[in-house]
Structure 1
């Protein structure tokens, strides 16, 4: 799962600026080739640069995109979500998450997941570490949840609480600060932070959290961070897509094997943003150890079972609508929401 809270000033840009930066034609959806033979590929970020994006910046710094004949243009996150840019063919690729692709695809938008950046669900239910009265999600009945106002949050948490033995009754407030800050300020009892960033940030700030993994309470595993494209782009540019993902995959594999060096490359490319180098290093090590790589050793790949399980949840929760805004009357076939066809062949 991925959260998109309020946009910080440094990341806020207008839709006009985004569409200008993304040169893909809304009708063609084809990459442009320069005189030197390189192909321009645009990638829209889902937030300011962070460790979920490490493979991108590693591949860029190492020259792997360039070696593949790709001139990568990274589009900063702004007022328009990457899913919207990709589906409108204003960006060739975009950083997204399973819920974002599921709801967009179910509504008839042209978006397909092509690479799973994280294999382990990168979000937990968290409370202050000193809350001895909360030993399980079942103890959250009657408590206050601090979230970002996304439609999926309440039904997800209700299922987790009920699976833990509770009723799923709790209050909600919208976050105006970081999750751990809200918890320690007494504004809420629990939140859903990313353990690879906010969780570590909380620890470094002397405000540690106690986490409950969603999978331990029967919730299906989620691809919290992924790379998406459009069917139109993929069909018109299959070889470019394969070269792009091969370079990207090489970047994330480097991050798995050399987290500290990968973190240094990420920081070097984003010095004005990633000023807390200790946080970046700790985050990179944790992602390399538990998140980029699946239990079966998989990197980048996705499964139909995992996509269908989450689509089933979204459908049952009444969160999926069609192109006309009407609720879906049957569970969608989630095997159409992703593809592994453009990934490099495992050696």
Structure 2
């Protein structure tokens, strides 16, 4: 009887081991390879991109079955890369794709990173003679030559009571260096990056925010994809944007920890890690809209800046001729891929 009991226990243990091994093998066989999604940056890694790197670092994309390949920044705009199918998603700007889509580019915004302007008209804080945008008439403006740049600045100056006349100088150095050296009187620095650099260097900048002078708010940085790609990769697009949204929600709620993910995944990009943390603290509140949501866009906000560019006659179609009919701005973006919460 004893030998029978031992034999019975052996059979039970062997059967259990076989079942466990089979279950483990089935688990390994069931694991599917990650799907690669290519993401193009509009610039070198910075705090506009933090949510992306948080989602990579914390495994949000991996949990969704996605391996994100971040394409290094180059001189080709993400709009062009996404439109051509070289990238699946990319970061760009509301004004940039307003021009791109009008001209025939195949892109659509799927996520708003910065819900508000990230740049402002900036002058050195020591310039007591420049108290309002109207004081910028006849002054030297340091720009980068983007379409619509002059029109926007001119309108803000007019809204403040000026004529909107100034001398445009295309910069070859940074905004802040040009201001410090006196090459220009005013520029459009990113407040949470170049403006912060100036402050930490002892040359603080004071700002004239567009919206303080009646100019419409805009989405500073957005994420775009190709409408055709979205149609053929609907499930993947939902998973990607959902994971991205989760990353930016974390960055909005935990700026210091989120900054560490950005630094960790880009170790050679930042010499001053405290600067990155401070920048993130400044920027994280702008990830949320007025309702506290991360990512959504509205027709009203798109109609503001983009409608202004149309009314100024600055938008051209694929044939190079000025648009005569205002686009339906609802076609320039979608909230369909956001996770509802």
- Given the two structures, how large is their TM-score scaled by the length of structure 1? 0.88
Measured against aligned partners, the alpha-carbon deviations of 1:20-39 in whole angstroms (never above 9, x if no partner) come to xxxxxxxxxxxxxxx93321
Output the CA distance in 1 between the equivalents of 2:332 and 2:293: 19
Which of 193, 197, 202 is the matching residue for 2:198? 202
Give the C-alpha shift of residue 140 in structure 1. 0.4
Residues 163-202 of structure 1 correspond to what in structure 2 (within 5 A)? 163-202=159-198
1:325 aligns with 2:341: no
Structure 2: gaps of 5 or more residues: 1-30
> SS of 1:73's equivalent?
strand
Aligned to 2:147: 151
Q: Contact between 1:311 and 1:331, CA under 8 Å: does it hold in 2? A: no
Aligned to 2:223: 227
Output the CA distance in 2 between the equivalents of 1:267 and 1:148: 28
1:50 aligns with 2:49: no
Aligned to 1:271: 267
Aligned to 1:81: 77
Measured against aligned partners, the alpha-carbon deviations of 1:273-302 in whole angstroms (never above 9, x if no partner) come to 11121211111001123x111232121000
Q: Contact between 1:126 and 1:192, CA under 8 Å: does it hold in 2? A: yes
Structure 1: gaps of 5 or more residues: 1-34
Aligned to 2:23: none
Aligned to 1:27: none
1:339 aligns with 2:334: yes
Aligned to 2:107: 111
- Pair member with larger Rg: 2
- Given the two structures, how large is their TM-score scaled by the length of structure 2? 0.89
Stretch moving more, 156-165 or 214-223: 214-223
Aligned to 1:307: 302
Aligned to 2:17: none
Q: Contact between 2:218 and 2:304, CA under 8 Å: does it hold in 1? A: no
> SS of 2:48's equivalent?
helix
> SS of 1:52's equivalent?
coil
Output the CA distance in 2 between the equivalents of 1:295 and 1:329: 33
Measured against aligned partners, the alpha-carbon deviations of 1:212-235 in whole angstroms (never above 9, x if no partner) come to 110011111110101000110111
Aligned to 1:215: 211
Give the C-alpha shift of residue 178 in structure 1. 1.5
Q: Contact between 1:311 and 1:332, CA under 8 Å: does it hold in 2? A: no
Give the C-alpha shift of residue 122 in structure 1. 0.6
Choose between structure 1 and 2: higher helix proportion: 2
> SS of 1:310's equivalent?
helix
In angstroms, what is the RMSD of aligned CA positions?
1.1
Aligned to 1:125: 121
